[in-house]
Amino acid sequence: MKSILACTAILAALAGPALAQEGKLVLYTSQPQTDAQQTLDAFKGRHPRVDVSFVRDGTPRVMAKLRAEIEAGQPQADVLLIADSVTMEALKKERRLLAHAGADLSTYPPGIHDPEKTWFATKLITTGIVYNTKAPLKPASWLDLTRPEAKGLVAMPSPLNSGAAMIHTVTLTGNLPQSWGYYETLRKNGAMASGGNGDVLKQVAGGEKLYGMIVDFMPIREKAKGAPVEFVFPTEGVSAVTEPVAILSTTRNAAAARAFVDFLVSREGQELAARQGYVPAHPGVKLPAGYPTREEIKLMRFDPARALVDETANKKRFADIFE
C-alpha cells in the first residue's frame, strides 16, 4: 500500500509542473511583430498547452495601455517584454512585478538581470554609430561626431520620445569625460535629435544625413540587404538596452508566466534571439552574422535605478540643450 502511495505521489509531482503550464497567457511586448510571433511559436513548441496571445506596440504605447488598465483595476497582461530596464524599475518600485526566485541565472554574469529577480534581460541591443558609405569621415569614436567634417550631418533619436534613446544619453553622459558637455558640443555642431531609430536609418541610408546614433541591429540588417551603411561600435564603448521580461504581480497564470521567462533566459531562448539578429544576453551564445566578437563590444556602465530617479532632470537637461 505504501509503495502504491509513494508511486502516486511521484507521478503527481512529475505531472504537476506540466499540468500547471497550461491555460491562457497574455504578453504585452514592444518586439517587432515578426520577432514576437517567432518567440511565441518557439515557446508554444515547448509548452503546447499554454494558449498565448500578445499585444504589440512601441514601449510608450504599451505602457500607456497597461497604465490605463491598472487605473481601471483590470490589467490584462501576464507578462511584459519591453525595451528598457528603467521602465521595469518604475514598475518594480510600485510593487507591480512578481519576482521569479527560481529562475536559473547560473550561466549569466552579475549585473545583467535585476538582482531581486523581478525582471530579466533577454538581449543586449547596443547603440553605436551608423554612417553612409559615401561619407568622407569614417567614425571610430563618439567624439568623431563633433568634428567639423560632421557638422550638420548627424541625426539621433530623441530621448524625449524614446526610452532607449534616453538610456543611451544617460550612459554617454555618465561615462564620457565631457558628460553633458558632449551633447552641448553636438548641438553646436548642428546635430539634430528627433523621431526614432527608424528615422535615423532612413536619413543616413538616403544620404540626407551622413552619420547617426542608432541601435545596432537596424543598420546591420539593412547592410546585409544592400543598403549603403556601416555600423560602428565606438572605441569608448556603447550603451545597451536589454529588452527585459517581467511577470506582472496581477498575473492570472503565474506558472505559465514563469515558464515563459525561463524559456527566454534559457540557452534555447537565447539562441532564438541570435537567429533573430540580436546580441544574446547569455554570454555563451554566439553572436549573429555582421557583429564582431563579444569581446570586441565594450559595454558602458549603466544604473537603471539611478536613471529612474534622475529621469525628469535628465529630460529637462536634454530639452534645454536641443530645444
Within this chain, do residues 112 and 173 fall inside the same structural domain, yes or no?
no
Within this chain, do residues 176 and 166 fall inside the same structural domain, yes or no?
yes
Within this chain, do residues 54 and 13 fall inside the same structural domain, yes or no?
yes
Query: Domain range spanning residue 96?
Result: 2-123+242-291
Within this chain, do residues 312 and 190 fall inside the same structural domain, yes or no?
yes
Distances (CA, A) of 165 to 126, 128, 141, 211, 315: 11, 11, 18, 16, 11
Within this chain, do residues 162 and 228 fall inside the same structural domain, yes or no?
yes
The total of structural domains in the chain comes to: 2
pLDDT in tens, the chain (323 residues): 444 434 433 333 344 444 457 999 999 999 999 999 999 999 999 999 999 999 999 888 899 999 999 999 999 999 999 988 999 999 999 999 999 999 999 999 988 999 999 999 999 999 999 999 999 999 999 999 999 999 999 999 998 888 889 999 999 999 999 999 999 999 999 999 988 899 999 999 999 999 999 999 999 999 999 999 999 999 999 999 999 999 999 999 999 999 999 999 999 999 999 999 999 999 999 999 999 999 999 999 999 999 999 999 999 999 999 98
- Cα atoms in the Cβ-side hemisphere of radius 13 Å centred on 136: 6
Within this chain, do residues 315 and 188 fall inside the same structural domain, yes or no?
yes
DSSP labels for 10-75? HHHHHHHHHHHS-EEEEEEE-S-HHHHHHHHHHHHHH-TTEEEEEEE--HHHHHHHHHHHHHTT--
Within this chain, do residues 115 and 9 fall inside the same structural domain, yes or no?
yes
Q: Cα 265 to chain center, whole Å?
A: 14
User: What does pTM read for this prediction?
Assistant: 0.84
The CATH number covering residue 272 comes to 3.40.190.10
Taking Cα atoms as reference points, which of 164, 124, 168 lies closest to residue 142? 168
